[in-house]
């Protein structure tokens, strides 16, 4: 009986910890002003997101390595490893990225993928206060700036000033 009570308490504490960390990550504001160099602004990922992303990638890397060390490799073990292996690049994605703006336009780089728009190409700007998300559309292309990045309000102001467009509220 006492083992089941201990297991139940452990599960409750684990869930409480997860809820606390998620609320902490989603509630973090970060710096209100981006890093600048000359005429360029750099909106990097918040340090809390970088830590969380790298921790997730590191944890699942350790779990994956330990699971592959088993002598017997079963179909279930390989499926387990594949599922856990997916969280490694997701953690790295969460930890990476930078938005750069300058006189010419805006560029979003995450891992090895880069999207750029010239200011004159942008046809629509929308903003979600609830999700702290900026969406930019240029013809058939779009870019989303989520809450991972610092100084979201500053970036939105810069986009609206450079394009002359008023953001649609989502």
Per residue in 142-152, pLDDT tens? 999 988 888 88
* Domain boundaries, given as residue ranges, for the chain: 1-30, 31-169
Rounded Cα gap, residues 52 and 84, in angstroms: 16
What digits encode the pLDDT tens for the residues 2-36?
677 777 777 777 777 777 777 776 666 777 888 88
Rounded Cα gap, residues 64 and 82, in angstroms: 8
pTM of the model as a whole: 0.77
Look up residue 7 and give its two tokens.
């297991």
Domain at 31-169, CATH from 3.40.720, 3.40.1700, 2.30.29, 3.30.70: 2.30.29
Rounded Cα gap, residues 52 and 62, in angstroms: 15
Residues 101 and 40 sit within 8 Å (Cβ to Cβ)? yes
What digits encode the pLDDT tens for the residues 67-88?
777 666 677 777 777 888 888 9
């Amino acid at each position: 009986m006492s083992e089941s009570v201990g297991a139940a308490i452990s599960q409750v504490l684990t869930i409480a910890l997860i809820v606390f960390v998620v609320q902490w990550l989603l509630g973090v504001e970060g710096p209100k002003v981006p890093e600048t160099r000359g005429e360029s602004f750099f909106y990097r990922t918040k340090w809390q997101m970088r830590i969380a992303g790298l921790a997730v990638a590191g944890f699942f890397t350790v779990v994956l390595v330990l699971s592959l060390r088993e002598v017997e490799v079963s179909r279930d073990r390989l499926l387990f490893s594949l599922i856990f292996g997916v969280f490694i690049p997701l953690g790295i994605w969460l930890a990476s990225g930078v938005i750069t703006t300058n006189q010419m336009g805006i560029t979003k780089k995450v891992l090895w993928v880069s999207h750029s728009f010239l200011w004159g190409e942008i046809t629509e700007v929308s903003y979600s206060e609830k999700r702290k998300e900026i969406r930019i559309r240029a013809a058939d292309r779009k870019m989303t700036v989520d809450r991972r990045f610092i100084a979201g309000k500053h970036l939105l102001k810069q986009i609206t000033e450079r394009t002359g467009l008023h953001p649609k509220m989502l």
